Amino acid sequence: MAQYDNYKTALFEQFARVGKALCSARRLELLDMLLQAERTVDELASETNMSIANTSQHLQVLKQARVLESERRGNHVVYRVTSDLVGDLLASIQRFAEHGLAEVEAITRRFHEGCEDMQPVDRGQLMALAKSGDAIVLDVRPRAEYEACHLPFAESLPLDELDERLASLPRDRQIVAYCRGPYCVLAVEAVERLREKGFDAVRLEDGVREWQEHGLPLECAATESTDGRR
């Protein structure tokens, strides 16, 4: 019996290592970004407005739990997720929070107050619009994320380049913007800016991970294109 108890305790201590690594809002944010594309410490620090030292410390915790791995390239250290299971793990946490915590719904509702007319287009509508040529699909994530993996019919237009490239966008077709998924605000901000300038714009709530989960095709750097698996 003691042998069984020791085995069980040792096993659950290892499971707890992952839980401890994930019990930080900042680390979950970094993980969400790294699921889009690998990044250097400097890039992650800049995009999250954290110091390089603080960012590095969070990344080390995730690496020790084998959630991330790193590689030195010249003067930079690049981090990436260890496997697709990391995305499944984060998605499970998000789904559990959605269903179990009323605060998630309340926070989301408050954020979208006044945006009732900004209902997201669904993936079925988007496929039809893209196939017919009636819509332009914009990936408003940072370019590195687009280059790593994107929807096959999407154009890259990072949010920080949107204003300077407005003149190149057609006004006779609907524009669909997407980013990292339902909790990403980049597409929301892009649609707001586009509408202010008179464009017919809507957002796609899905990101690459959600597209992948439904087995839909993607274009990824590693394989040129996929059948929905990275």
What is the pLDDT at residue 106? 84
Measured between alpha carbons, how far is 144 from 68 in angstroms, rounded to an integer? 18
Q: Are residues 120 and 83 in the same domain?
A: no
Measured between alpha carbons, how far is 116 from 113 in angstroms, rounded to an integer? 7
With respect to residue 105, please indicate whether it lies within any of the assigned structural domains. no
Number of domains in the chain: 2
Question: Which residue's entry shows tokens 């649609």?
Answer: 191
Q: What is the CATH number of the domain that holds 213?
A: 3.40.250.10
Q: One digit per residue, pLDDT tens: the chain, 230 residues?
A: 667 778 889 999 999 999 999 999 999 999 999 999 999 999 999 999 999 999 999 999 999 999 999 999 999 999 999 998 999 999 999 999 988 888 888 887 777 665 555 667 778 788 788 778 888 999 999 999 999 999 988 999 999 999 999 999 999 999 999 999 988 889 999 999 999 999 999 889 899 988 888 888 899 986 444 444 44
Which residue is catalytic, options 149, 179, 184, 220?
179
Question: Which residue's entry shows tokens 């605000």?
Answer: 185
Write the DSSP string, 29-41.
Answer: HHHHHHTTS-EEH
With respect to residue 130, please indicate whether it lies within any of the assigned structural domains. yes
Q: Are 194 and 136 in contact (CB under 8 A)?
A: no
Q: Are residues 132 and 185 in the same domain?
A: yes
What is the pLDDT at residue 113? 67
Q: Are 153 and 139 in contact (CB under 8 A)?
A: no
Domain that holds residue 75: 2-87
With respect to residue 96, please indicate whether it lies within any of the assigned structural domains. no
Q: Are residues 80 and 133 in the same domain?
A: no
With respect to residue 92, please indicate whether it lies within any of the assigned structural domains. no
Q: Containing H/E element for 150?
A: strand 149-150
With respect to residue 152, please indicate whether it lies within any of the assigned structural domains. yes
Residue 184 falls in the annotated catalytic set: no
Q: Are residues 64 and 142 in the same domain?
A: no
Q: Are residues 137 and 213 in the same domain?
A: yes
Q: Are 154 and 178 in contact (CB under 8 A)?
A: yes
Q: What is the CATH number of the domain that holds 33?
A: 1.10.10.10
With respect to residue 206, please indicate whether it lies within any of the assigned structural domains. yes
With respect to residue 226, please indicate whether it lies within any of the assigned structural domains. no
Tell me which of 68, 87, 106 is where a domain ends: 87
CB-side neighbour CA atoms (13 Å) of 47 = 22
Q: Are residues 146 and 77 in the same domain?
A: no
With respect to residue 93, please indicate whether it lies within any of the assigned structural domains. no
Q: Are residues 82 and 120 in the same domain?
A: no
Q: 155 — phi, psi (to 5°)?
A: -105, 145
